[in-house]
């Protein structure tokens, strides 16, 4: 699982995505969130992490889709499936949250199409020197 996760991180990492680079970093993240890998046949095509924040809101992070599978509806399916998997947690959450690099227009458009709204911008959000837009959706 860790190797598949890190391999996908290498494929999508760059200016607009702050990739996990090591097994230790992955294990540290695993201690703070739930991580889901999604497969098509025998290939891992995407992953997403879910963090339940102190106020009960749910934050989607480290969301990545293999470039070979981007633009084919997998991202939307993964977010919808993740919400289904964590239905009990999400049910009581006041809101859903995500962050995206301002240049990652695909991610921003996806979240907006799912009802998320841009509510702010944070500089150096991931500690990589790059800004992120904060997107939120009331959980109705």
pLDDT digits (tens, 9 = 90+) for 56-96: 899 999 999 999 999 999 999 999 999 888 887 777 889 99
Report the pLDDT value the prediction gives residue 114, as an integer from 0 to 100. 95
Name, in order, each residue with C-beta under 8 angstroms of 21's C-beta and a sequence gap of 6 or more.
Answer: 6, 9, 13
Q: How many domains does the chain have?
A: 1
pLDDT tens for each residue of 115-131: 999 999 999 998 889 99
Query: For position 28, what pLDDT does the model report?
Result: 81
Model pLDDT, residue 140: 75
Residues of the domain holding 37 = 2-138
Say if residues 69 and 16 touch (Cβ distance below 8 Å): no
Per-residue pLDDT at 27? 79
The stretch 40-55 carries a mean pLDDT of: 92
Place of tokens 């633009």: 71
Asked if residues 120 and 139 have their Cβ atoms less than 8 Å apart, the reply is no
What's the confidence (pLDDT) of residue 131?
A: 96
CATH number for position 24: 3.40.630.30
């Amino acid at each position: 699982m860790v190797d598949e996760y890190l391999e996908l991180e290498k494929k999508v990492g760059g200016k607009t995505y702050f990739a996990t680079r090591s097994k230790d970093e992955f294990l540290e993240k695993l201690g703070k969130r739930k991580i889901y890998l999604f497969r098509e046949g025998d290939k891992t095509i995407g992953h997403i992490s879910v963090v339940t924040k102190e106020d009960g809101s749910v934050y989607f992070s480290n969301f990545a889709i293999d470039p070979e599978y981007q633009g084919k509806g997998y991202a939307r399916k993964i977010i919808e499936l993740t919400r289904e998997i964590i239905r009990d947690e999400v049910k009581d959450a006041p809101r859903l949250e995500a962050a995206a690099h301002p240049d990652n227009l695909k991610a921003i458009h996806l979240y907006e199409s799912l009802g998320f709204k841009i509510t702010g911008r944070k500089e150096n959000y991931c500690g990589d020197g790059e800004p992120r837009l904060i997107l939120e959706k009331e959980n109705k």
